Amino acid sequence: MADTARSDRIELQSLQALDDADPLAAMRERFLLPKNTVYMNGNSLGPLCRDARERMSTVVDSEWGKELIRGWNTAGWYEIAGRLGDKIGRLIGAAPGQTVVSDSTSVNLFKTLAAAVALRPERRRIVTEAGNFPTDLYILDGLSRQMGQDFDVDIRRRDDVFDSIDEQTAVVVLTHVHYLSGAIFPMAEINQRAHDVGAIVVWDLSHSVAAVPTELDATAADFAVGCGYKHLNGGPGAPAFTYAAARHHREMRQPLSGWFGHAEPFVFDDDFVPAQGIRRMLCGTTPVLGASALEASVDLLLEVDPSARHSKAKKLSRIFQELIEQHCAGLGLRLVSPADTEQRGAHISYAHEHGYAVMQNLIAKGVVGDFRAPRGMRFGFSPLFMRYTDLHKAVRTIFEILDSRSYLDSTYQRKQAVT
C-alpha cells in the first residue's frame, strides 16, 4: 500500500515537471474552464476561450446592438465567410481563397459530394468506409436517392478502401481521423491513388483540424469539410468549413445554389450565376454570431506553433495510454484506437462492457469524456488547455470507478438524449 502511494507520488511529480516545462502552459489561462474538471472532450465540443466570449459580447452589444443592418458593411460580417475560411485554411494547409465557413458539416458534405460527382459524370461509383461517421453515410445515402439511386455506394472495410478505388470510381469520401478509433487515413497516398485512376476525394476533417498535421494543398486534395465546434473551439453548433482546391473552382457546381453563392447577390437577378471561386460553395446568409465566436477561437489557435500543439497532444495521449496500461489492466478496458500515437488523432477510445455507465460515473466525478455506442469511451487531448497532471486525476478516477464497480449504481445507467 505504501509502495503504491509512493509510486503515485513519483508519477504526479514527473507529470508536474512536464507541466512546469510546457511551452504551452500559459494558454490554459485563455480558456474559461470549470474548477475541478478534467475536460477530455475538446474533440467533441471545445471549451469557451476568453477571446470568444469577449468577441461575442462585442458582436452582440456593439455590432448587432448598435450597428444593426449596417453591420454587414461596417463590421465585416459579409466578408467573414471567406476571411475566416482563409484563417482555417492556414490550419489545414490550404492557400487563401479555397476555404469558406458556412452551414453545418453535414450540409457541406452534401454540397461537396454533389459537386464532386458532377465533375465525373461518366462514373457511377462512390467509395466510403463502413463505420464512417454516420452523417457521412447518411448524406451519401440521401444524395444517391436524390439522384434516383443512380449510384453504386460502395461501403468498404477500412483495409479494403485503398484497393477498391478504381477506374469506375467517381468519388471517395473518407473521414481523415476516425471519430471513434482516431485512426488516421494516409491522405497523400489516398489522394494519389484516386488521382491515378481519375477519381476525386472528399475528406471529412472534423477530427483532424487543429488536432493532427493536415496538408490539403501539398497532398493535392480535392475537397474537404469539417466542424467548427470540436478542436476549433467555436462553440455548440458553430458553423463548419468547406475547402475546394482552386483547380476545381471554374467547373464545380453545387446544388444548394442560394443567393450567398451568387456572383452578385445584391443585383437580385432571377437567374443564378455562381460566384467566381470558393464563394460558390456558399448557400444562404452567414451565421454571423457563430462565425464570430469561431473566428476568435481560431485566432487563438493561430497564435501557437502547430508543431508544439501536435507534439503536446501526442505526448498527452501516449502518457494517458501508458498510465491506463499500468493502473487499469484487467479491469475490462479494451483499446479501440491504434496503439501507436503516430497512427491516431488527438483522441483515444476504449471499449468497456458498461461503457455508458462508466462514462456517466466519470463525468459525475469531474472527468469529462464521452460515450459512443455500443461500448466506446472516448477521451480527447487538447494541448492548449490540458495539463499533464490532469492525466493523473483522470486515470486515478477511472481506476477507482472500475475497481469499485461504482458505475453499476442505477443513476449511471439512465440514458440521456446526448451521450
Ligand X SMILES: Cc1ncc(COP(=O)(O)O)c(C=O)c1O
Catalytic residues: 133, 204, 229-230, 378
In a 10 Å sphere around its CB, with 0-12 CB exposed, 13-18 middle and 19+ buried, how is residue 96 labelled?
middle
State the nearest-atom distance from the C-beta of 398 to ligand X, in Å. Answer: 23
Instruction: For 220-375, list the strands marked E by DSSP.
Output: 223-226, 240-244, 334-335, 347-351, 367-368, 370-372
Task: List C-alpha distances in Å: 61 to 48, 71, 177, 242.
Answer: 19, 12, 38, 29
> Could you say which of 112, 206, 214, 242 contacts ligand X (CB under 6 A)?
206
When asked if residue 233 is in the footprint of ligand X (CB under 6 A), the reply is no
> Could you say which of 99, 135, 254, 341 contacts ligand X (CB under 6 A)?
135
Q: Which residue, 44 or 191, is less far from ligand X as judged by CB?
A: 44
State the nearest-atom distance from the C-beta of 285 to ligand X, in Å. Answer: 18
- Name the DSSP letter for residue 240: E
Q: Which of residues 369-398 bind ligand X (CB under 6 A)?
A: none
Kindly report the three-state secondary structure assignment for every residue of 167-207. Answer: CCEEEEEEECECCCCCEECCHHHHHHHHHHCCCEEEEECCC
> Could you say which of 39, 77, 179, 243 contacts ligand X (CB under 6 A)?
179
Which SS3 state, helix, strand or coil, does residue 102 take? Answer: strand
When asked if residue 104 is in the footprint of ligand X (CB under 6 A), the reply is yes
Q: Based on C-alpha coordinates, what's the Rg of the chain?
A: 22
Q: Which residue, 240 or 316, is less far from ligand X as judged by CB?
A: 240
Q: Which residue, 206 or 389, is less far from ligand X as judged by CB?
A: 206
CB 111 within 8 A of CB 99: no
> Could you say which of 98, 105, 214, 317 contacts ligand X (CB under 6 A)?
105
Task: List C-alpha distances in Å: 306 to 90, 122, 300.
Answer: 10, 41, 12
State the nearest-atom distance from the C-beta of 289 to ligand X, in Å. Answer: 16
Helix (H) or strand (E) holding 364: helix 355-364
Count, residues near ligand X per rule CB under 6 A: 12
> Could you say which of 88, 202, 227, 346 contacts ligand X (CB under 6 A)?
227
The window from 51-59, 199-207, 384-392, 401-409 that contacts ligand X (CB under 6 A) reads 199-207
The window from 6-14, 25-33, 103-111, 362-370 that contacts ligand X (CB under 6 A) reads 103-111
Q: Which residue, 135 or 317, is less far from ligand X as judged by CB?
A: 135
Q: Which residue, 241 or 356, is less far from ligand X as judged by CB?
A: 241
In a 10 Å sphere around its CB, with 0-12 CB exposed, 13-18 middle and 19+ buried, how is residue 205 labelled?
buried
State the nearest-atom distance from the C-beta of 304 to ligand X, in Å. Answer: 23
> Could you say which of 39, 77, 110, 133 contacts ligand X (CB under 6 A)?
133
The window from 101-109, 181-189, 286-294, 323-331 that contacts ligand X (CB under 6 A) reads 101-109
Q: Which of residues 207-226 bind ligand X (CB under 6 A)?
A: 207
CB 209 within 8 A of CB 294: no
State the nearest-atom distance from the C-beta of 108 to ligand X, in Å. Answer: 8
Among residues 17, 380, 76, 62, the alpha carbon closest in space to that of 208 is found at: 380
C-alpha cell belonging to residue 21? 516545462
CB 86 within 8 A of CB 217: no
**Binding-residue pattern over the window 234 to 273 for ligand X, x denoting contact by CB under 6 A:** ------x---------------------------------
> Could you say which of 204, 222, 295, 370 contacts ligand X (CB under 6 A)?
204
**∠ Cα 280 282 283 (to 5°):** 115
When asked if residue 181 is in the footprint of ligand X (CB under 6 A), the reply is no
Cα 239 off chain centre by: 12
Q: Which residue, 202 or 395, is less far from ligand X as judged by CB?
A: 202
Among residues 229, 239, 212, the alpha carbon closest in space to that of 383 is found at: 212
Binding site for ligand X (CB under 6 A): 104-106, 133, 135, 175, 179, 204, 206-207, 227, 240
